[in-house]
A and B are shown apart, each in its own frame.
Chain A
């Protein structure tokens, strides 16, 4: 089909045209499919673990003042302790890092709901039940009434991200299974599957309740109307894919010296922008994720990495590059899923609206690593 649309004047016009013609932010190639599906297969395993832990913390470590064993998922034994010290474990800290990015940047219905009086009332009820008989904490809570409420907000984000990743983990597992079965062979097919999964779960309710002394206390009730796509997925993409935080030690947190933007809204340090080269260094958060992913990378992808210039030496950077590519696919799915009209619409007005919508996304992606993934370098 020959496009009848006028050429965009946007610097990323080519990408816009690719999206309009059914393509993705990531070019379609056999290698890219292998990398994206392989890394997402590993990511599915890691997300499953992260999700379980986030949900565990939200439900079972509710207002535990010193949550020493929050990464143990309730299984505190000498063996588990030694495994933890030996670092034979998932880096759950990375899940919390992402959760805090969401919490900090906010956005979406979850963030808005956490500032409502309804939420405060529900949180107070749960806090009251939790502090029953604990005079010290009751006194402290009275002296600093906002403190525990803020902790409950944080726990709500634990739960929200845990529920979001539960869905994503299942989508990526299905993607990998279908790739293994030979049903997926191109990047647009990957995007379509992720988009389908997102759309299918779009209205999935996001709820959160804790059990204290045998009684259930709602924190995020169903009546709040929070849903998967708009209240967790979109804020997650905004916070983790786009904004996030600069890596400590690589940029000075000095807005006055313009080392970082003065407005957090203008932050652009997310997955789509992050530099993969420092990965592997201490204090660089993605190192934790890549370390987890490397344990679950499928053999076909591992072999692909072994053939690279550095072989096994730069595995974590290679995984990060593949991961970044996969996140461009997920972003494509989110962009297409949220588009005002279907991309293959013939209606000029709808095409115009889509063009404006895509140009808005491309404005955000101009300084991202989209140029790097186009040429398949690194």
Chain B
């Protein structure tokens, strides 16, 4: 059942690769959209079949592969990965929809996007450390090529920087996985939350350090973030949507799945430091975003800040905060996807992203009033205005983290306020005022170009008003993760986490959080 999510895109990628060069780019795009739409529909079907009160993995597939290496093809889905799998498919459709049909080498382009979709789905579904690593690495080369071939003027630099950073990330993660397996005496890379429990705390901390830095590069967290703004600026709009919306989530997903869950004891020791790291990342991202003049860079630095919220919430590791992390992953995927789509339309029609050049785009007839209105909605969502997903996720994170790390949470909340500062600056400069004569003859924006923005904005509002439609898939898993974590972490005295009440198993008692 889950394999279809991985192999349909691969199969379609192969078909696209084998099609004759005479097939038009728009047909290739339609084919790619159709294939991912099937996968998207399949993921929604899986969601309907998903048992929301089951704390374990569902729809498991376990096929022996290379036993001698401990590598098995083991897939499974839970409340942590299900929303991300759906998000992956949704944003891939958006990215394909936004792709320019006049691009060069369209077969390679669509083939690479489909491979990324497959690899990301595989990474979210894999329950074998080595299998996860393979999928995690699989998306690197396609993304490198997508930036390097179809990127901006400094695409070579940006693509290489991305590759080097994320390759180091992969190496660190692989080393930690290998260390964990070898030191624990296991002969398999099978995912097992109890793996690290026999290890000395120092060894656990070292291994967790590798995981943290590895995924910290991917997320990215300060000071490992420098590849991201360059990659975003040089990448085309669809690639930025995928990068911010989906690929960064591999890092935050990894943080929970392979950091918090595999190393609960070490995590509880490092948690205060991680919360401090989150604050630095949040504030750095926000303050740097204020200084940007390129709209895309501003959104990119905003991502760094918003990803910091996730680290804070995972560090706090309370049922509410962990629920908030998953909500924030989806929320940020939707909001950053929306913002990058809109920035892409602005760039395509005006030829610039410089907020000091752009002005008055909200002008009703000659400007981009609909794009401007969607941008206002997007920045409101990003700044955490109630009624949109950004508010729900940030509220959950702050509410859940405050009881454990009050100071760090308050400092992170400053980051939310700063989000409003830099995005209002952006909206004010770019969309309000008089449209300059140089921009008075902008080309028409088609409804097709507006459609992804409308779709994403609609989902942002719907989930903002009715968050329980998503929370119900997530909360059983996140609460179970916290149960395991607190049970294990309680064996290790820690002034921050020892006082946490042991949350009862979800199946026995109602959750402390209900959103409606």
* Interface residues, chain A, with chain B CB atoms under 8 Å away: 250, 275, 277-281, 309-311, 313-317, 378
| A310 contact from B360, B366, B434, Cβ within 8 A | B366
| A315 contact from B365, B434, B443, Cβ within 8 A | B365
CB-CB nearest 3 A-B residue pairs: A280-B364, A280-B365, A314-B365
Contact residues in B for A309 (Cβ distance below 8 Å): 441-444
Are the C-beta atoms of A275 and B434 separated by less than 8 Å?
Answer: yes
Identity of the chain B residue whose Cβ is nearest the Cβ of A290 in the assembled complex: B365
B435 within 8 A of A: yes
Contact residues in B for A315 (Cβ distance below 8 Å): 365
Contact residues in B for A316 (Cβ distance below 8 Å): 365
Are the C-beta atoms of B434 and A313 separated by less than 8 Å?
Answer: no
A281-B440 contact in complex given A250-B434, A275-B434, C-beta closer than 8 Å = no
A317-B441 contact in complex given A275-B434, A277-B434, A278-B434, C-beta closer than 8 Å = no
B440-471 near A? 1/0 per residue, CB < 8 Å: 11111000000000000000000000000000
Are the C-beta atoms of A378 and B440 separated by less than 8 Å?
Answer: yes
Identity of the chain B residue whose Cβ is nearest the Cβ of A310 in the assembled complex: B444
B188 within 8 A of A: no
Are the C-beta atoms of B365 and A313 separated by less than 8 Å?
Answer: yes
Query: What's the Cα separation between A211 and B155 when bound, in Å?
Result: 80
Contact residues in A for B441 (Cβ distance below 8 Å): 309, 378
A314-B366 contact in complex given A277-B440, A309-B443, A309-B444, C-beta closer than 8 Å = yes
Are the C-beta atoms of B365 and A279 separated by less than 8 Å?
Answer: yes
Are the C-beta atoms of A281 and B363 separated by less than 8 Å?
Answer: yes
Query: What's the Cα separation between A309 and B363 when bound, in Å?
Result: 16
Query: What's the Cα separation between A161 and B291 when bound, in Å?
Result: 54
Are the C-beta atoms of A310 and B365 separated by less than 8 Å?
Answer: yes
Contact residues in B for A314 (Cβ distance below 8 Å): 365-366
Identity of the chain A residue whose Cβ is nearest the Cβ of B443 in the assembled complex: A309
Query: What's the Cα separation between A311 and B364 when bound, in Å?
Result: 14
Identity of the chain B residue whose Cβ is nearest the Cβ of A378 in the assembled complex: B440
Are the C-beta atoms of A277 and B435 separated by less than 8 Å?
Answer: yes
Contact residues in B for A378 (Cβ distance below 8 Å): 440-441
Contact residues in A for B364 (Cβ distance below 8 Å): 278-281
Contact residues in B for A279 (Cβ distance below 8 Å): 364-365
Contact residues in B for A277 (Cβ distance below 8 Å): 360, 363, 365-366, 434-435, 440
Contact residues in A for B363 (Cβ distance below 8 Å): 277-278, 280-281
Identity of the chain B residue whose Cβ is nearest the Cβ of A287 in the assembled complex: B364
Nearest chain A CB to B463 CB, angstrom units = 31
Nearest chain B CB to A319 CB, angstrom units = 10
Known: A278-B364, A314-B365, A317-B366. 9 other contacts (CB 8 A): A278-B363, A279-B365, A280-B363, A281-B363, A281-B364, A309-B441, A309-B443, A310-B365, A310-B444
Identity of the chain A residue whose Cβ is nearest the Cβ of B444 in the assembled complex: A310
Contact residues in A for B434 (Cβ distance below 8 Å): 250, 275, 277-278
Query: What's the Cα separation between A314 and B366 when bound, in Å?
Result: 6
Identity of the chain A residue whose Cβ is nearest the Cβ of B433 in the assembled complex: A250
Nearest chain B CB to A259 CB, angstrom units = 14
Identity of the chain B residue whose Cβ is nearest the Cβ of A315 in the assembled complex: B365
Query: What's the Cα separation between A311 and B365 when bound, in Å?
Result: 11
| Cβ contacts A to B, 19 pairs, < 8 Å | A275-B434, A277-B363, A277-B440, A278-B363, A278-B364, A279-B365, A280-B365, A281-B363, A309-B442, A309-B443, A309-B444, A310-B366, A313-B444, A314-B365, A314-B366, A316-B365, A317-B366, A378-B440, A378-B441
Nearest chain A CB to B349 CB, angstrom units = 11
Most buried by A among B364, B442, B443: B364
B342-381 near A? 1/0 per residue, CB < 8 Å: 0000000000000000001001111000000000000000
Query: What's the Cα separation between A317 and B363 when bound, in Å?
Result: 11
Query: What's the Cα separation between A314 and B442 when bound, in Å?
Result: 11
Nearest chain B CB to A260 CB, angstrom units = 16
Nearest chain B CB to A307 CB, angstrom units = 12
Nearest chain A CB to B144 CB, angstrom units = 38
Contact residues in B for A250 (Cβ distance below 8 Å): 434
Are the C-beta atoms of A311 and B444 separated by less than 8 Å?
Answer: yes
Most buried by B among A313, A315, A316: A313
Contact residues in A for B360 (Cβ distance below 8 Å): 277
Contact residues in A for B365 (Cβ distance below 8 Å): 277, 279-280, 310, 313-317
Nearest chain B CB to A286 CB, angstrom units = 12
Most buried by A among B365, B366, B443: B365
Query: What's the Cα separation between A297 and B176 when bound, in Å?
Result: 73
Identity of the chain A residue whose Cβ is nearest the Cβ of B445 in the assembled complex: A313
Nearest chain B CB to A275 CB, angstrom units = 7
Identity of the chain A residue whose Cβ is nearest the Cβ of B362 in the assembled complex: A281
Nearest chain B CB to A316 CB, angstrom units = 6
Identity of the chain B residue whose Cβ is nearest the Cβ of A308 in the assembled complex: B441
Identity of the chain A residue whose Cβ is nearest the Cβ of B360 in the assembled complex: A277
Query: What's the Cα separation between A314 and B439 when bound, in Å?
Result: 14
Nearest chain B CB to A293 CB, angstrom units = 14
Nearest chain B CB to A332 CB, angstrom units = 25
Query: What's the Cα separation between A378 and B441 when bound, in Å?
Result: 7
Query: What's the Cα separation between A250 and B432 when bound, in Å?
Result: 10
Query: What's the Cα separation between A14 and B257 when bound, in Å?
Result: 77
Query: What's the Cα separation between A275 and B435 when bound, in Å?
Result: 10
Contact residues in A for B440 (Cβ distance below 8 Å): 277, 378
Nearest chain A CB to B497 CB, angstrom units = 55
Contact residues in B for A313 (Cβ distance below 8 Å): 365, 444
